[in-house]
Amino acid sequence: MLTPSKTLTLTLLALGLGTAQAVTFGGLTVTPRGPQTLNLETGATELPQGGTATDSRGGIKLVASAMQLSPGSALKAQNATLTTRQGGTLRAQNVTYDLKAGTLTATGNVTYADARLKGVTANTITLYVKTGFVTATGGVKATTPALSGALLVFDSQTMQTLLGGPFSLKTSAGAKAGAAGERLLLAFAGNRLTRTSAPDAGALARFGPYLK
């Protein structure tokens, strides 16, 4: 005997509603790569072959090998590549987009790069879609500039980055290091790191919500 969810899955395929056509979901435009599975009880939709999700308002585009959509709540994706309006590219095994909070959290072989930061790796990277801030936590490393730290927060509006200790930074001007709890502010001009300094009160206030 078929369960309601299995019956509905068969109906979607039979009617051609599981084919790759764009649908709107919680402010996202989602184009599935293959059939869709709808759970009648929860309203959740699975895209076992993945697809593309675009948030035109938030300026992000996500392509993944599999997706799960919870109505009005969240999008989860596996083996995902995300691009941002600011030119960043994020790759991860697992991505969760909390639609209510406007945060996108990536875990599992996470990498991030943009015009200023190259080869960023961390245990977790979170993109705050509404503000454009990006945070990386846990074993943070980058190839350009060459750095490591416990925490990195990038502000796409000011092109400044806050590095949390223990940290180390190597540039053509020399090397810097800080202990746990210490912070270092990195300022960029265009795509180049031009200045490093201890953050003042204004910078700490601006980065404060992302230092938790």
Q: What pLDDT does 10 receive?
A: 34
Q: Provide the domain count of the chain.
A: 1
Q: Which helix (H) or strand (E) covers residue 33, if one does?
A: none
We report the CATH number of the domain holding residue 114 as 2.60.450.10
Could you give phi then psi for residue 166, rounded to 5 degrees? -70, 135
Q: What pLDDT does 20 receive?
A: 58
| Pair 95, 104: CB distance under 8 Å | yes
What pLDDT tens digit does each residue of the chain (212 aa) get?
444 444 344 334 434 444 557 788 778 999 999 888 888 777 788 999 999 999 999 999 999 999 999 987 999 999 999 999 989 999 999 999 999 999 999 999 999 999 999 999 999 999 999 999 999 999 999 999 999 999 999 998 889 999 999 999 999 889 999 999 999 999 999 899 999 999 999 999 999 999 97
| Pair 175, 168: CB distance under 8 Å | yes
* Structure token pair of residue 190: 């265009």
Which residues make Cβ contacts (< 8 Å) with residue 108, sequence separation at least 6? 92, 93, 94
Predicted structure pTM score:
0.88
Q: What pLDDT does 38 receive?
A: 82
| Pair 149, 163: CB distance under 8 Å | yes
Residue with tokens 């590219």: 89
| Pair 20, 47: CB distance under 8 Å | no
DSSP letter (8 states) at residue 144: B
| Pair 87, 114: CB distance under 8 Å | yes
Q: What pLDDT does 157 receive?
A: 86
Question: What domain range is 149 assigned to?
Answer: 4-210
